[in-house]
Every structure is written in C-alpha cells, then in structure tokens.
Amino acid sequence: MSIAIDVVGGKWKMHLMWVLAEGPVRFGQIRRKLDGVSEKVLAENLRQLEASGVVHRELYAEVPPRVEYSLTPLGVELNKALAPLEIWGDQNRDALASRPGISAS
C-alpha cells in the first residue's frame, strides 16, 4: 500500500486527481474547485504529483503564458484505481454523513 500512499496521500492529492480527470485545466480553475486550498499548497501538491509522474504540466508560450495540467497515462490508471473508493463513499453516503468530521459534499 505504501507506494500508492506516497503518491496520493495527504489532504489534497486525491481531490486533485479527480479534478484533473475532467481534462486539461489551468491553475486558477483547479483552485476554484478545491475549496479552501491556498495557492502555495496547491502549487506544491501539483509539483509533487508531477514529480511522481501522474500529472503533466504543459506551458504554452503565449502572452501571457498559459499553463495547463493534465493526467499522464500513469495518472489515468491511478484514477481508475481510485474509482472504487468513490463508489464506496457514494454507497455509504448516508451512513457516513451522520458521522463527525465528514462533510457529505
């Protein structure tokens, strides 16, 4: 289990993988979807996912420069492996939502 946790452990990385699954997105778009993440923490998490080889950062030499983030093929496989976890959450939403510390969002 350790190796997968090294990649997606932490508060934001699984969320991030989910947002990136929707297709190439820009930094500001990601930040709007992740409620409450600071610019610094988001940048750091994206860098780590890029370093792990699951996220690709593409710089378009426009004026102003545009940067888009997307999943690599390894990242697409990772997201498939994360899908059962989402299904488990959905299936148990009612039971879990009544528990402390769970937002049911």
Q: Which residues bind its own copies (CB under 8 A)?
A: 1-11, 14-15, 18, 48, 51-53, 74, 77-78, 80-90, 92-93, 95-97, 99-105
Nearer to its own copies, 40 or 99 (CB): 99
Q: What is the smallest separation between the CB atom of 12 and its own copies, expressed in angstroms?
A: 9
Nearer to its own copies, 26 or 93 (CB): 93
The DSSP-derived string for 23-87 is S-EEHHHHHHHSTT--HHHHHHHHHHHHHHTSEEEEEE--SS-EEEEEE-HHHHHHHHHHHHHHH
Q: What is the smallest separation between the CB atom of 59 and its own copies, expressed in angstroms?
A: 20
